Amino acid sequence: MKVVIVGAGSVGSSIARELLAHKHEILLIDLKPEVIGRSGLRGAHWLVGDACELSTLQGAKVEEADVVVSATGDDKVNLVVSLLAKTEFGVGRTVGRVNNPKNDWMFNDSWGVDVAVNTPQLMTALVEEAVEIGDLVRLLTLQTGVASLVEFTVPHDSYVIGLTVGDIRWPEDSTLVAILRDHAPITPSRDDVIDGGDELFFVTTIAAEDELRALLSPESAGELEDDADEPEGVQPAETQAPEDDGFDG
């Protein structure tokens, strides 16, 4: 995969280092030529220039890139680069770094951003994820703010312990995509039993987050038990049709 990363600071360099380790082709664009020598990124290609200029992006052959990552410390630059990459060069996927949380609302498809990474928000989420057991934590916002990746660590006294994934009626717009147990990821199936300490990862719409949070709260235990006690296919007595005794009138 060919990835163009704009901004070779600490964030851009870290992304490049990880992608190089996974054998991807990386081109970094930065205004400062001195970052090349101090980056220590072996195998990366470099272009010194202003990524907000069409000529620079043309020289980088951005149209051949699978992904463009705008990782500078300037939100204006990240928005302009994402917009140019999407509208002028038809890049299939753009990732934009959000430096100021107040600008988060602009990082959407109107500016050509497919995935917005709000660094302060992500760091806050990771901190919360480490200390907040039993609460739903948003890790990333996906698809231009329509969906999110959220995590829920199952408390050891949760009512969902011992239930299978198929026992729980998950919200319509939420999908359980992974279970992390004892540091090992599990692809969930209907028969997997939920255990205390499991980390459940969901892709959900932003609108459905509250519904998912309510479902996983202790208050929902009684509702689940009521659903389980109701026999399937049996109508309440007062609504059942009388049996035909064979007599007319």
- In 3D space, the residue among 88, 54, 68, 63 whose CA is nearest the CA of residue 7 turns out to be 68
If we measure between CA atoms, which residue out of 191, 196, 200, 199 comes closest to residue 165? 191
pLDDT given at position 249: 41
Average pLDDT over residues 36-46: 85
In sequence order, what are the beta bridge partners of 3?
26, 67
Whether residues 16 and 107 fall in one domain: yes
3-state secondary structure of 182: coil
pLDDT digits (tens, 9 = 90+) for 142-174: 755 688 888 898 998 999 999 999 999 999 999
Q: What confidence tens digit (pLDDT) does each residue in 196-232 have?
A: 999 999 999 988 998 998 999 887 765 555 554 444 4
- The whole-number pLDDT of residue 247 equals 42
Give the model's pLDDT for residue 116.
Answer: 86
Domain closes at, from 117, 147, 176: 117
Report if residue 44 sits inside a domain. Answer: yes
Q: Which tens digit of pLDDT belongs to each residue from 48-100?
A: 999 999 999 999 999 999 999 999 999 999 999 999 999 999 999 999 999 98
Tokens of 202: 């969901």
Number of structural domains found in the chain = 2
Residues 104 and 142 in one domain: no
Do 144 and 175 share a structural domain?
Answer: yes
Do 58 and 142 belong together in one domain?
no
Full domain range(s) for residue 61: 2-117
Indicate whether 163 and 203 sit together in one domain: yes
Beta pairing partners, 94: 68
pTM of this prediction? 0.59
The rounded distance, in Å, linking the Cα atoms of 133 and 151 is 10
> pLDDT value at position 231?
44
- Indicate which CATH number applies to the domain containing 217: 3.30.70.1450
Residue 130 clears pLDDT 60, i.e. is over it: no
Quick one: average pLDDT of 232-246? 44
